[in-house]
Amino acid sequence: MKKRTASLLKPYILILPALALAVVFAYRPFLLTLLNSLHTVSLQGQRLSFVGFENYQRLFVSQSFQASLSNTLRFTLYFVPTNLIICLGAALLSNRKGKLATLNQIFFFLPMAVGLSSAMMILKMMFNPSIGIINQLFGSDIQWFNDKHAAMALLVIAGVYLDIGLNFLLLHAALRNVPSELHEVAKIEGANSLQVFRYLQAPLIAPTFVFVLMTNIKDAMLISSPVLILTEGGPFRSTQTLVYQMYLEGFKSGNYAMGSAIATVVFLLTLSALLLLLHLERRRVYYQ
């Protein structure tokens, strides 16, 4: 009897440390953020009075918030397909047999070995309109930090650079797990490279592809570090994202209630997008 009870309790005991960490560092801060968004909060972080959805009403009529929401959605629209195409292309290129296959793998995996802040500072120097190597290399005069379209493009480039290492690794591993026997059968049947990818590789790597798509959407909605280091939300708020505005309101201005309201909106938007994707996944993606 004791042995059976111990066997039943063992899984719960093993998961207890991870659950405790999740409660302390994830669930509790989330609940406090939700509570703060419904109250007025002092500069010392104390909740003063319950105001209901007043903070959200003020937020949604704010032009700054509307600009942040628009910029975040535009960035997501540009970043996610660009990143998926580049990462999938890199994984397909590295999956081909040849002398340069290993070199390609190292090249695409390399961004993971560089720290985020260091990478952003290097990009900031490379895209400097006056002394940067990018304008000199292409003989252009693009004002990467002063033109709103160029600044958004720079954020997309930075986002792709930051995400390419892990996404490439996942897609490359998924492609390598496609059974070689199926490749040989496809070659015998006379399938070309496009047909092999469409009818063989794409269905088999679909679960990994959906996972990468979901993490891309999450990363796009939460982008902040490239904005903070490269553009600081400019020019004229054209690259100010929701999380960057949350940082300004909550940490720079000490408006914890408004910062918490923005954080809650970001959470709900991201959760809605991911739930919709999970719903589509159940209809379109098949697991072995």
Span 183-196, pLDDT tens digits = 888 888 888 888 88
How high does pLDDT run on average in the chain?
Answer: 88
Nearest alpha-carbon partner for 172 in 108, 79, 241: 108
Nearest alpha-carbon partner for 93 in 85, 104, 79: 104
Q: Is the pLDDT of residue 182 over 70?
A: yes
> Mean pLDDT across the stretch 16-22?
91
What's the whole-model pTM score? 0.87
> What's residue 233's pLDDT?
86
Q: Is the pLDDT of residue 1 over 70?
A: no
How much of the chain exceeds pLDDT 70, in percent?
A: 97
> What's residue 252's pLDDT?
87
> What's residue 183's pLDDT?
82
Q: Is the pLDDT of residue 260 over 90?
A: yes
Band (pLDDT 50/70/90 cuts) for residue 288 is low
Q: Could you read off the pLDDT of 235-259 as tens digits, one per residue? A: 888 999 999 999 999 888 889 999 9
> Mean pLDDT across the stretch 60-68?
93
Best-predicted range by mean pLDDT among 5-9, 74-78, 121-125, 130-134?
74-78
Alpha helix locations (H) across 139-240? 148-176, 180-188, 193-196, 202-221, 225-226
> What's residue 225's pLDDT?
86
Instruction: Tell me if residue 178 falls in helix, strand or coil.
Output: coil
Q: Could you read off the pLDDT of 112-149 as tens digits, one per residue? A: 877 888 888 899 999 998 888 999 998 888 999 989 99
Alpha-carbon Rg of the chain, whole angstroms? 23
